[in-house]
A and B are shown apart, each in its own frame.
Chain A
Amino acid sequence: MLIEILQQTINGLAIGGVYVLIALGLTTVFGILGIAHFAHGSISMFGGYLTFFLVTAQGLPVLAAIPLALLAGILLGLLVEILAYRPVRNANHINAFIVALGLTMMVEGLNLQLFGHEQVVIPTGLSKVFRLGGITVPELRLYVILAAILLVVAMMIFVERTKTGQAIRAVAENRDAAILMGVNVKTIPLIVFSMSTALGVAAGIMVGALFAIAPGIGEGLVVKGFAVLILGGLGSFPGAILGGTVLGITESIAAGFISSAYKDVIAFVVMILVLLFRPQGLLGRAP
């Protein structure tokens, strides 16, 4: 039993790590720009698809393809911000939401046109499995978890230790005060979108290597990402990290011990319960 719980926890960590990265991207955009960036999942998957394409069709090594995909993903993210989100920045937030929906359709359609409807898996050649006692962890899964941790730490350092990072956090926590303090709120959206998309594409590559990219997968991830935001508290970085990990492990434990058919229901019920008793989320500050 103990081994099974431990194994299920480890099982949940990989997808939990993906949720964390997606949620961090969503929460920075949301906290700073107030946009529910629905297209985030599809753009992340675009990056994953592109990595696949560079590796399989162009013969690039995976490690060379990743930076190129990150760069292309960031460019697409910036394009989206400048062409689509910026014009509705000061309008009703529902309008930005609709723009996000329209963008999701467009990017999903673009992915379909460019990469087809068959699922793709980024080939890594990593197929070893580590076994310890009764616990098994495939090496690829371990690297994905480690990469997620690494990225989260890198982002925390960026946000805590650099001037730009601190400005971003200041705007996320209190936009008006940040403007008063003289933070340049014009360039910050561009930095934020680059960072958020980079995290998203990283998540897309992880999904593409460990699992698969297929039509609709990105949209599903974005919904989970928003659930994480609610669990952890909108705009809270530590909340996104905790929320994503909790959601990943909850799903795994729920599927293993309660019901695999209703595992998503259980995850959402946990989210709703948290909201009922702690409306600001696990780590959000009381409004």
Chain B
Amino acid sequence: MNKSLHLLPWLLGLAVLAMLPQLITVKYYLHLSILALIWVIVAQGQNLIQGFTGYVSIVQAGFMGIGAYASTLIGLNFQWPLWLTMMLAPLITALFALATGYPSLRVKGHYFAIVTLAFNLIIVIVLVNYSELTKGEAGISNIPKPWGGSREAFYYLALALAASLTLLAALIARSRVGEILLAIRQNEDFVAAIGISAWKYKLFAFVISAMYAGLGGALYAHFQGFINPEIFGVAQSLDAILAVILGGSGTIAGPVIGAFLVVFLPEILRFADSFRLILYGLILVLATIFMPIGIVGIAKSAFARMTRRGGQHGG
């Protein structure tokens, strides 16, 4: 497949997303789209560790929380400008990820998943109980919003960041580092056997994924204007995992589609009222059983089948 053909869907998608605020008349959908773009960033990060490296981390929302509180608290306590605190947020998150990644990555598979889950629980408990700093469960209101709270402007900020971080993820995936991460997913012992210290690469993927989450969290804080610990609980970490799986694990387009799904699907299911939880769970189960490779995977194989048939016809 030639390169320009490969880029075409991306450019088209970007163009549609860029025009979206003009197309949307009901602002509620713009609100959800901004949340979805923030989730694109979070899910791209999750995909680096889960999709490419094959380690299911259940602390992505916890890292969002660290980024959100870092940006908010630095801004409130030192009166530093918003853009600066937002840039610091992923760096501070990276420090936490280094500290938690080291013990977590000593173990594999389900062990890793459960240790990261424990870290998420610990982050929430500390955010709740260290209320001198975090204001506890009551949360922090009136977090400054850029551009006087204009949702259109924020949409383009989120879009620009989501697009460039998606590009960055694609670049990482295609680099030598990305190849090694994929190799770790397929056979970690083999990677070690050829003399590559896999732990460095795993830690790299974990820390970068946390930085994505940290930035996503900071964006969330300055978009909503309110944060409390509950927003960054395990349930939201599970949403990050779902976004990757539903969209297509280990692909670049997957987390983008998955992020929109995890934000819009529960909203669409509001009609189901008290059956919403059951229905959402059912969709997950059915989707995983009948389309285990995610939406992008299905689209890809359908596309491949089409072009193959087309090729036969021509040849």
Contact = CB atoms under 8 A, between A and B. Distances in A.
Is A in direct contact with B (CB under 8 Å) within the complex? yes
Contacts of A1: none
A152 interface: no
Contacts of A106: 277-278, 281-282, 285
A98 B126 CA distance: 28
B114 A108 contact: no
Contact of A275 (B115, B121, B275): B115
Contact of B50 (A94, A261, A276): A94
Interface stretch (B87-95, B105-113, B163-171, B199-207): B105-113
B138 interface: no
Chain B interface helix/strand/loop/mixed: helix
A98 B288 contact: yes
Interface stretch (B27-35, B145-153, B213-221, B241-249): B241-249
Interface in B16-36: none
A264 B117 CA distance: 13
B284 interface: yes
A227 B284 contact: no
Interface in B113-155: 113-115, 117-119, 121-122, 125-126, 129
Contacts of A229: 114
A127 B305 CA distance: 69
B176 to A, nearest CB: 25
Contact of A103 (B56, B125, B281): B281
Contacts of A123: none
Given A97-B113, A268-B118, A102 B125 contact: no
Contact of A95 (B107, B113, B280, B288): B288
Given A227-B118, A230-B114, A230-B115, A98 B277 contact: no
B121 A223 contact: yes
B75 interface: no
Given A95-B245, A99-B284, A109 B278 contact: yes
B238 interface: yes
B274 interface: yes
Contacts of B121: 223, 264, 268
Interface residues of A, number: 42
A275 B122 contact: no
Contact of B284 (A93, A102, A230, A268): A102
Given A227-B114, A272-B118, A94 B56 contact: yes
Interface in B208-247: 234, 238, 241-242, 245
A87 interface: yes
B81 interface: no
Nearest to A39: B281
B125 A265 contact: yes
Contacts of A275: 103, 106-107, 111, 115
Contacts of A261: 125, 129
B36 to A, nearest CB: 20
A271 B50 contact: no
A109 B292 contact: no
B245 A94 contact: yes
A112 B281 CA distance: 14
Interface string A244-287: 00000000000000000110110011011001100100000000
In order of increasing CB-CB distance, the 9 nearest A-B pairs are A105-B281, A102-B284, A109-B278, A109-B277, A106-B281, A102-B285, A268-B118, A102-B281, A87-B289
Given A98-B288, A262-B129, 13 more contacts: A36-B113, A101-B281, A106-B282, A107-B281, A108-B277, A223-B121, A226-B110, A230-B111, A230-B114, A268-B118, A269-B122, A272-B118, A275-B111
Interface of B: 50, 56, 103, 106-107, 109-111, 113-115, 117-119, 121-122, 125-126, 129, 234, 238, 241-242, 245, 249, 274-278, 280-285, 288-289, 292
